[in-house]
Amino acid sequence: MSSRAAILGRVSAALAGADRVPPPRQEYGAPAAVPDVVGLFVERVEDYRAVVEQVAPQELAAAVARALGGTDRVVVPPGLEGAWLSALDGAEVLVDDGDLSPDDLDRCGAVVTAAAVGIATTGTIVLDHRPDQGRRALSLVPDLHVCVVRESQLVGDVPESVTLLRAAVDAGRPSTWISGPSATSDIELERVEGVHGPRTLHVLLVRDGDGLQSPA
């Protein structure tokens, strides 16, 4: 007998005569009552010792350039809004064509991506790796991650965010949930920022609703 059949057989035998518990009645994706989603998001991202800046759409390119500071080589996903990089001065920009090796990425000091969702309560950014966010390795190997999030992408809490994830999963895309820079608590359960992922997370939160064109 195959192990598959054996395991499934043992499961069925174990459950013979068991009370089958129905799924709980659960309202999925219920919006959280967060009065100030933007304010809370900023506060909670800062809690992780990430950098958060609120910028107007027309200030975004300059803010990206500032955030990248003295980085020589920047990698960006193929679908990134070109205007966001228009104020860069001197840095070499590699647009990922899918062929950059891990070593190539390791030679990039920074990455700029968009995001899919921002979660206020937990201060989390969710990437669903659409073309403006790129494949997973891009936002992982470089040491600085500049991430552009629009206010309209913010939700109150985790449930709304999980609901939004389904479209990405159905499209076969992975997702990465990022809450601050990489960190560890493995030494005496004391939090230290900066292990294998980007050691600096710089979030640019783009205002909307001020009558100006959103960059996307």
Partner 1 sequence: MSGTFLGMPSFQAAAKEALGNAQQRRNLEHATRTIRGKRAQVVAELDDWEGLRRTAAAIKDNVLTHLDSYLLQLEESLTRAGATVHWASDAEEANRIITGLVRATGTDEVVKVKSMATQEIGLNEALEEAGIRAWETDLAELIVQLGHDRPSHILVPAVHRNRAEIREIFLREMGQVGAPPPAVLTSDPRELAEAARVHLREKFLRARVAVSGANFAVADTGTLVVVESEGNGRMCLTLPETLISVVGIEKVVPRLEDLEVFLQLLPRSSTGERMNPYTSTWTGVTPGDGPQDVHVVLLDNGRTDALADSVGRQALRCIRCSACLNVCPVYQRVGGHAYGSVYPGPIGAILNPQLRGTTSEVDQSLPYASSLCGACGDVCPVGIEIPDLIVHLRTRVVDEHRGGVPSGEQLAMKGAAWLFADHRRWEKAQKGAELGGRVLGGKDTIGRLPGPLAAWSDARDAPTPPAETFRTWWKREKGGRR
- Minimum CB distance to partner 1 smaller for 35 or for 187: 187
83 near partner 1 (CB under 8 A): no
Residue 114 phi, psi dihedral angles, 5° rounding: -85, -170
Q: For residues 89 and 190, which CB has a smaller minimum distance to partner 1 in the complex? A: 190
Pairwise CA distance, residues 59 & 87, whole Å: 10
Which residue among 58, 86, 152, 184 contacts partner 1 (CB under 8 A)? Answer: 184
Of the candidates 65, 60, 42, 51, the one whose C-alpha atom is nearest the C-alpha of residue 201 is 51
* Contacting residue, 46, 136, 151, 215, with partner 1 by CB under 8 A: 136
- Does 179 sit near partner 1 (CB under 8 A)? yes
Q: Shortest distance, CB of residue 213 to partner 1, whole angstroms? A: 31
Q: Does 145 help bind partner 1 (rule: CB under 8 A)? A: no
The nearer residue to partner 1, 34 or 87, going by C-beta atoms, is 34
Site string for partner 1, 105-134 (x = CB under 8 A): -x------------x-xxxx----x-----
Q: Least distance to partner 1 from the beta carbon of 194, Å?
A: 7
Tell me: does residue 196 bind partner 1 (CB under 8 A): yes
Is 21 one of the binding residues for partner 1 (CB under 8 A)? yes
What torsion do the CA atoms of 183, 106, 126, 71 make, to the nearest 10 degrees?
Answer: 90
- Site for partner 1 (CB under 8 A): how many residues? 75
Residue 167 binding partner 1, by CB under 8 A: no
Q: Which amino acid is at 140?
A: L
Indicate whether 73 belongs to the interface with partner 1 (CB under 8 A): no
CA nearest neighbour of 118 among 185, 181, 187, 41: 41
Rounded Cα–Cα distance for residues 44 and 154 (Å): 13
State the minimum distance, in angstroms, from the CB of residue 136 to partner 1.
Answer: 4
Alpha-carbon span 101 to 27, nearest angstrom: 43
C-alpha 99: how far from its chain's center?
22
Number of Cβ within a 10 Å radius of residue 114? 25
- Take residue 31 and report the two structure tokens written for it: 């919006």
Beta-bridge partner residues of 93: 74
137 binds partner 1 (CB under 8 A): yes
Say which DSSP state 172 is in: T
Closer residue to partner 1 (CB): 104 or 208: 104
